[in-house]
Amino acid sequence: MPKNIRSLSIVAAIASVGLALTGCATGSSGQAAPSATPTATPSATPAHWTYEGEEGPSHWGELAGDYELCETGTAQSPIDLTSAAPVAEDELSLAYGAIQDHIINTGHTYQLVADEAASVEYDGTTYTLLQMHFHDPSEHTVDGEAAPVEFHFVHADDAGNLLVVGVMAVEGAENAAYSAFIDAATAGSAEAVTGAVDLAAMVPADLQHFSYPGSLTTPPCSEDVQWIVMQTPVELSAAQIGALEAAYGHNSRPVQPLNGREVGLSTATVTE
């Protein structure tokens, strides 16, 4: 299948950027993305959790033994990102093309399942796309400000190490690249196949990004995620943002303490 491959070569010096690889975030209801070094043995039936009340984020660590890191972890996600982050040096390329739009309702978000090949190469390691889902409003903030929506593109390498690409969305022009996904999410069905989506068109043309080690933003909050959060957002129309909010609004974990972790901000020139 032909793919639009965009490469990002970053030529700035690193300034105190520690990228201790950890894990990745998923918005799925009962199953976390694979982890090469799980921190706990998963329950046979995952404990029920929500985004509010007695089963909300402040209580996740109490709901099951394998959710303990949600309360005790020291490298949790999401975090507040700062535009004053030190400059980082890394290499990122996306091998994204058109894939079948296979959507499932996880009980906490709508998720695009990557049934066909798409991948990211980061610092020489290839990570295959597993799924994409959304949070409304954004989970990460930038200088204390949340975006209306954040999309998470969840990847894993051959060893099960996780990498998530976060893409913020702000209000602007209607975005045709997200139309099929949003239409499926608002259809209200448990599962839908609506046709092809152009993954390359769903991410910003400018691949400058924040990078840091973090965790799943949902239980079990495993701390084995390499985070890449794009600095440039995509645009969605007010109607598209409203449709996602109506489908699954307020499904975001609050920002977590940085606890001494270093966040890098790339400066780069994108080449095709």
Query: Could you give the residue numbers annotated as active site?
Result: 108
84 close to 264: Cβ distance less than 8 angstroms: no
Other Cβ atoms within 10 Å of 155 Cβ, number: 26
- Helix (H) or strand (E) segment spanning residue 247: helix 238-248
- CA distance from start to end of the chain: 18
Beta bridge partners of residue 197, listed in sequence order: 99
Residues 6+ apart with CB under 8 A from 33: 23, 24, 25, 26, 130, 131, 154, 156, 162, 216
Hey, what are 16's tokens?
């105190």
Helix (H), strand (E) at residue 245:
helix 238-248
CB 259 within 8 A of CB 4: no
- Give 93's contacts (C-beta < 8 A, 6+ positions apart): 5, 6, 7, 8, 120, 121
